[in-house]
Amino acid sequence: MPRKPISLPHPIEYLSILDENGTLDGDLEPLIEPADLLKLHRAMLLGRRFDERMLSLQRQGRIGTFAPIAGQEAAQLGAVAALRDSDWMVPSFRESAAEIWRGKPLENFIIFFGGFNEGGQIASESNDLPLCVPVGSQVPHAVGLAWAMKYRGSDQVAMTFFGDGATSEGDFHEGLNLAAVFQAPVIFVCQNNQWAISIPRANQTRSATLAQKAIAYGMPGIQVDGNDILAVYAAASEAVARARAGDGPTLIECVTYRLSVHTTADDPKRYRSDDDVAVWKKRDPIARFQRYLTDKGVLTPEKIEALEAEIQAEIQAAVTRAEEQMAQMDDPLEMFDHVYAEMTPDLQAQQAELARELAAARKEDSHG
């Protein structure tokens, strides 16, 4: 009886183009016009500074909890930069840089995390789904969209994001299996930031990589340096081109790190050390990209300083607009109005109960 290795159609590769020391592999450098490089740099910096301002707003009690993105800007922007506006983007809950790139206004984030559903509204011309908090449940949604586009004969693709923790969920495996069987044009982008809240990557799976899970479903998988925006862009561009050509899905594992908290309700000092964080801070994707752009002669320290001031003004204007809008949204009873076309008896009862409680609270306040 024979005993021999089985030949598999898709090997697993690791891709890095611009390492943490700023060393460029010129043979692998993707062709990106200088104007587009600067657009990516601006988007990375805007994502980071907006993240910092959101954290400040949350600590001041001006918005509720949210999931910071610091450290993951390259993984998000390198991926979505490969999409057309007409493609679909299906985020999880930590893709604010990708959502901003796709056109979501800054004030909508503030309004949403300020507790108002209006901030989560998607523009009618957008092909993005709202953020998804349940871990992994957005994966089948992206596969369904991709399959529908293929069924209609469109060349659109779908891209969905999730973390390393989602690869332990059933939705992840069901989505990849269906996508591969039907050769749906979908790109699965895993941001492996090393932690599923407080569970380390090593306790999630015994697999050497997350990218190799693609092999089980018969699709290409690749692991990239997720802090290297050039590598992420190159991998995503290949995957998008393959999907658009009718050659099915791809799994991209972006190896990155969550520099901040899981959410603002989290205390990461209880499960990871400052030394671990310091190692990854040296691999900061923005600093690395700035060195590349400076060496390339398309960016200077003076331009960075001017851009920082421009971005701060843009963020402040968004905060002002958001707080002005939230000041007008003073009736919490409206949150029941848009759940269904016709309100159910249960919702009517809940709305009436809340109305009674609010009236009682106002009466109590009037007594001083």
Cβ-based neighbours of 354, under 8 Å, separated by 6 or more: 332, 333
Active site (annotated) includes residue 262? yes
The one catalytic residue among 14, 84, 271, 356: 271
Helix (H, G, I), strand (E, B) or coil at 196: strand
Q: Is 89 left (phi over 0), alpha (psi -120 to 50) or beta?
A: beta
Instruction: Please name every residue paired with 62 in a beta bridge, in sequence order, or none if there are none.
Output: none
Which residues lie across from 14 on neighbouring strands?
A: 223
For residue 303, the tally of other CB atoms under 10 A from its CB is 14
Element (H, E) at 82: none
Q: Identify the three-state secondary structure at position 330.
A: coil
Query: What does the buried/exposed string (b/e) look like for 325-339 if buried means 16 or more CB atoms within 10 Å of the residue's CB?
Result: bbeebeeeeebbeee
Is 233 among the catalytic positions? no
Find tokens 């990516």 and name the residue.
Answer: 40
173 close to 214: Cβ distance less than 8 angstroms: no
Q: Please pick, among 262, 283, 288, 292, the residue that the annotation labels catalytic.
A: 262
Distance CA(232)–CA(212), nearest Å, equals: 17
Work out the number of other CB atoms within 10 angstroms of the CB of residue 361. Answer: 10
Q: Does the active-site annotation cover 258?
A: yes
Give 241-290 as a DSSP string.
HHHHTT---EEEEEE----S-SSTT--GGGTS-HHHHHHHHTT-HHHHHH
Question: For residues 262 and 269, is the Cβ–Cβ distance under 8 A?
Answer: no
Distance of alpha carbon 280 from alpha carbon 338, whole angstroms? 43
Instruction: Say which of 258, 283, 288, 292 is annotated catalytic.
Output: 258
What whole-number distance in Å separates Cα of residue 175 and Cα of residue 138?
Answer: 9
Active site residues: 258, 262, 271
